[in-house]
Amino acid sequence: MLMATFEKYTTKHGERYKFKVYLGTDKVTGKRIETTRRGFKTKKEAQLALNSLKSRFDAGLLNKTDGISKTFDALFQMWLKNTERM
């Protein structure tokens, strides 16, 4: 079940919209998969981006870490794995 919230906020360049969405639960870790996207000029733009994000996620085309912040340990492990090859 997709749950999303939309919010209007103000920047020095004017009003913008953002959304936060719950996409589901990671089958491996059991953690919630949530992401936030921001910077949309209209709420309709934000809704279209949400629909696109949901479609890509449902089709398996969205990397679970796209737009989702990683812990320091996860970033360190990625760095370590990539530098060991050199």
Of 60, 7, 8, the closest CA to residue 33 belongs to 60
- The CATH T-level fold of domain 3-84 is Double Stranded RNA Binding Domain (3.30.160)
Digit-coded pLDDT (tens) for 17-71: 999 999 888 777 888 888 999 999 999 999 999 999 888 888 877 665 555 556 7
Measured CA to CA, the distance from residue 57 to residue 86 in angstroms comes to: 33
Residues near 68 by beta carbon (within 8 Å), at least 6 away in sequence: 33, 34, 35
What is the reported pLDDT for 25?
Answer: 82
Please tell me the predicted confidence (pLDDT) of residue 63: 61
